[in-house]
């Protein structure tokens, strides 16, 4: 083997870890970071080092990136993952020294919003929501789709783990990279941007819910309304799922705002604004729940009234028919001594009597509102 071949072999072996890392993530170019989307086909969506709020160009492995951050003042690492399995996340947890309970939280799809502290790492769990477009509300259609975002915030790094198609973080990363002054505030600035985007999406879903409720209300109280109790109940179920994703975030967010030691003062002010938006959304959800309860009760009362009207109509027609049946029954007894049987115009008189009785009873029932 020649010297040139030996040098080429050494170079290939030396660059193998870098080529392996580059194959695990989407490369980024001058246009900006990779889009945080499940369709990328990998667990690691994006990995970047930010120095003074500006992204270092080129793709990097989180192992090398963490080493760079520890050697570079004013820098931090943002690692984004999508639906990792326990096997996928285990090396990450080992490299960053995450607690085993934190690993379990990162690989569980549906969790309650919460904030927990593990030594020098803060675990922040939020639920993601997405409104599902539908042309007609049925008793089985899906209205809201939920997922979760788990953040690990440590010294010099932030890890975001997303489950489900809702709540892509690519736009969040792109917005922050256009604001280096905000990105320079470190990992907690990323946590605020993610929380702010999730809470804004809650408000968007709440507005879409309001449109569905208004449309359902118009149909329920229309003159020729069909029975829509099943649709009302389905919308109420979807609203309850939305409420379970949004309402539990109030307590963790309030606790985070009160954490004056762990949270920077400027970031705490941003989170206070996020909390205000969250409270507005929760108030909307509570109002929608009460409105749906009122619509359901009104619809059930309307059905009861309709059934009562139907029963009165049936009873009125039954009474009219009973009068005719009584007259026909008397003249159908065929007794020998019934003088009316031999009347020349007896048939016409009886038919006229039956018609007159029926007309009088019909008029009486119409006046009383039974017919």
The model's pTM: 0.72
At 204, the pLDDT band (50, 70, 90 cuts) reads very high
As a whole-number percent, the residues of the chain with pLDDT over 70 amount to: 84
Helix (H, G, I), strand (E, B) or coil at 282: helix
At 349, the pLDDT band (50, 70, 90 cuts) reads confident
Question: What is the mean predicted confidence (pLDDT) over 171-193?
Answer: 92
Half-sphere exposure of 161 (CA within 13 A, CB side): 25
At 22, the pLDDT band (50, 70, 90 cuts) reads very low
Cα distance from N-terminal residue to C-terminal residue, the chain: 107
Among 278-282, 311-315, 338-342, which is the least confidently predicted range?
338-342
- Residue 324 burial (C-beta neighbours within 10 Å; 0-12, 13-18, 19+): middle
pLDDT, one tens digit per residue, over 29-80 is 333 444 444 433 458 888 999 999 899 887 778 888 888 888 888 899 999 9
DSSP state of 38: G
Question: What is the mean predicted confidence (pLDDT) over 233-257?
Answer: 89
Domains located in the chain, CATH noted? 16-302 (3.30.460.20), 303-368 (1.20.58.340)
Among 254, 256, 250, 245, residue whose Cα is nearest residue 123: 256
Report CA torsion sign: 174, 179, 182, 185.
positive
Question: What is the mean predicted confidence (pLDDT) over 181-200?
Answer: 92
Is 244 a residue whose pLDDT tops 50? yes
Is 365 a residue whose pLDDT tops 50? yes
Helix (H, G, I), strand (E, B) or coil at 193: helix
**Most confident range, picked from 10-24, 165-179, 307-321:** 165-179
Among 10-19, 144-153, 233-242, 345-354, which is the least confidently predicted range?
10-19
Is 15 a residue whose pLDDT tops 80? no
pLDDT, one tens digit per residue, over 98-141 is 888 877 878 887 788 999 888 888 899 999 999 988 877 777 78
At 24, the pLDDT band (50, 70, 90 cuts) reads very low
Q: How far apart, in Å, are the Cα atoms of 25 and each of 20, 65, 88, 171, 330?
A: 9, 13, 13, 18, 96
Among 98, 56, 57, residue whose Cα is nearest residue 81: 98
Which residue would you say has higher pLDDT here, 92 or 141?
Answer: 92
Q: How far apart are CA 250 and CA 247, in angstroms?
A: 6
pLDDT score recorded for residue 320? 79
At 243, the pLDDT band (50, 70, 90 cuts) reads very high
Among 13-27, 169-183, 258-272, which is the least confidently predicted range?
13-27
pLDDT score recorded for residue 126? 93
Contact 141, 240 (CB under 8 A): no
At 226, the pLDDT band (50, 70, 90 cuts) reads low
pLDDT score recorded for residue 276? 93
For residue 327 the two structure tokens come to: 């007259």
Helix (H, G, I), strand (E, B) or coil at 97: coil
Q: How far apart are CA 367 and CA 244, in angstroms?
A: 53
Q: How far apart are CA 218 and CA 110, in angstroms?
A: 35
Is 4 a residue whose pLDDT tops 60? no
Question: What is the mean predicted confidence (pLDDT) over 129-154?
Answer: 87
For residue 59 the two structure tokens come to: 């793709």
CA angle centred on 178, ends 173 and 184, rounded to 5°: 80
For the sheet containing 75-82, what is the strand order?
A: 54-55, 44-51, 75-82, 157-163, 144-154, 121-131, 114-118
Is 7 a residue whose pLDDT tops 60? no
Question: What is the mean predicted confidence (pLDDT) over 308-312?
Answer: 78
pLDDT score recorded for residue 335? 67
pLDDT score recorded for residue 178? 92
Among 105, 265, 262, 124, residue whose Cα is nearest residue 198: 124
pLDDT score recorded for residue 326? 81
The H or E element containing residue 349 is: helix 346-368
Q: Round the average pLDDT of the chain to a whole number and report it.
A: 80
Cα dihedral 273, 278, 281, 286 in deg (nearest 10): -130
């Amino acid at each position: 083997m020649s010297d040139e071949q030996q040098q080429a072999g050494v170079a290939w072996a030396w660059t193998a870890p870098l080529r392996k890392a580059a194959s695990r993530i989407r490369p980024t170019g001058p246009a900006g970071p990779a889009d945080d989307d499940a369709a990328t086909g990998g667990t690691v969506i994006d990995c970047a080092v930010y120095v003074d709020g500006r992204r270092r160009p080129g793709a990097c492995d989180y192992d090398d990136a963490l080493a760079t951050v520890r050697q570079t003042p004013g820098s931090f690492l943002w690692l984004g993952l999508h639906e990792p399995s326990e096997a996928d996340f285990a090396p990450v947890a080992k490299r960053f020294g995450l607690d085993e309970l934190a690993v379990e939280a990162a690989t569980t799809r549906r969790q309650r919003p919460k904030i927990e502290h593990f030594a020098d790492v803060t675990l922040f769990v939020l639920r993601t929501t997405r409104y599902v477009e539908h042309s007609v509300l049925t008793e089985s259609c899906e209205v809201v789709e939920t997922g979760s975002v788990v953040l690990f915030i440590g010294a010099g790094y932030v890890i975001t783990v997303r489950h489900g198609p809702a709540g892509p973080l690519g736009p969040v990363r792109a917005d922050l990279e256009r604001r280096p002054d905000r990105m320079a505030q470190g990992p907690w600035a990323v946590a605020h941007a993610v929380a702010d985007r999730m809470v804004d999406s809650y408000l968007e879903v709440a507005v879409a819910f309001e449109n569905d409720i208004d449309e359902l209300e118009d149909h329920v109280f229309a003159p020729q309304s069909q029975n829509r109790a099943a649709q009302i109940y389905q919308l109420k179920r979807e609203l309850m799922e939305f409420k379970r994703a949004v309402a539990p975030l109030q307590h963790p967010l309030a606790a985070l705002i009160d954490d004056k030691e762990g949270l920077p003062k400027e970031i705490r002010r941003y989170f206070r604004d996020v909390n205000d938006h969250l409270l507005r959304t929760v108030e909307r959800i509570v109002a929608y729940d009460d409105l749906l309860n009122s619509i359901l009760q009104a619809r059930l009362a309307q059905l009861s009234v309709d059934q009562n009207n139907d029963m009165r109509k049936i009873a009125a027609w039954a009474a009219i028919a009973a009068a005719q049946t009584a007259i026909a029954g008397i003249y159908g007894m065929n007794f020998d001594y019934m003088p009316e049987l031999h009347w020349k115009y007896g048939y016409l008189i009886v038919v006229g009597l039956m018609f007159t009785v029926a007309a009088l009873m019909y008029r009486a029932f119409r006046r009383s509102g039974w017919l």
